[in-house]
């Protein structure tokens, strides 16, 4: 061998490799959490940007008075799984649309829906609004889907950053993250 590296099996090396698997798993969870948090932040930003007209049935954004944006209250943490979601019963209807407008069968919102308060704010007859929703449906307003599409690409870098920090701490030396 003309050129090589010899690593002595010291206590520090043993400790480093013993911690490696744990550091890798913890880094994956850190990366998942940081990515989920970025998705949630982007989702709320999408909702706060307001309604945009839909173009040819494509996502047009969502109009929100703050109830939907306020319903995203933290990432639910589980081992190797993070969940971003809304506690409002109508979030999925806004995200995916309803009835014929979304290519689905007619849908009539339940009596406990927020259609009544929306109708009053817009001086519309509640029955007419319900009938219109049932007949035509509502367009999808992809506030969460757009956030996932935009932010999912940061996951590998988030995991790598966390792993580099953990390995640097374990090795007692700076280990950097580079992209090839």
Residue with tokens 């943490």: 77
Q: What is the pLDDT of residue 52?
A: 61
Q: What is the pLDDT of residue 161?
A: 92
Minimum mean pLDDT among 55-64, 96-105, 129-138: which range? 55-64
**Is the full-model pTM beyond 0.85?**
no
Nearest to 76 by CA among 113, 40, 120: 40
Q: What is the pLDDT of residue 3?
A: 64
Q: Is 98 helix (H, G, I), strand (E, B) or coil?
A: strand
Q: What is the pLDDT of residue 31?
A: 94
Q: Is residue 8 scored above 70 in pLDDT?
A: no
Q: What is the pLDDT of residue 63?
A: 62
Whole-angstrom CA distances from 126 to 116, 120, 123 are: 6, 8, 9
Q: What is the pLDDT of residue 64?
A: 67
Residue with tokens 């509502």: 138
Tokens of 100: 């014929």
């Amino acid at each position: 061998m003309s050129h090589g590296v010899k690593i002595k099996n010291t206590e520090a090396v043993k400790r480093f490799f013993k911690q490696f698997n744990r550091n890798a798993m913890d880094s994956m969870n850190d990366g998942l959490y940081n990515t989920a948090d970025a998705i949630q932040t982007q989702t709320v930003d999408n909702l706060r940007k307001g309604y945009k007209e839909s173009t040819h049935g494509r996502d047009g954004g969502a109009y929100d008075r703050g109830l939907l944006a306020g319903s995203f209250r933290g990432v639910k943490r589980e081992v190797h799984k993070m969940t971003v979601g809304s506690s409002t019963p109508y979030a999925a209807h806004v995200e995916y649309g309803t009835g014929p407008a979304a290519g689905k069968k007619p849908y009539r919102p339940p009596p406990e829906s927020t259609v009544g308060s929306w109708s009053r704010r817009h001086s519309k007859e509640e029955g007419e609004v319900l009938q219109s929703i049932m007949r035509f449906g509502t367009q999808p307003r992809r506030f969460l889907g757009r956030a996932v599409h935009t932010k999912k690409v940061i996951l590998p870098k988030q995991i790598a950053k966390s792993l580099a920090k953990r390995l640097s701490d374990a090795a007692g030396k700076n280990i950097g993250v580079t992209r090839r």
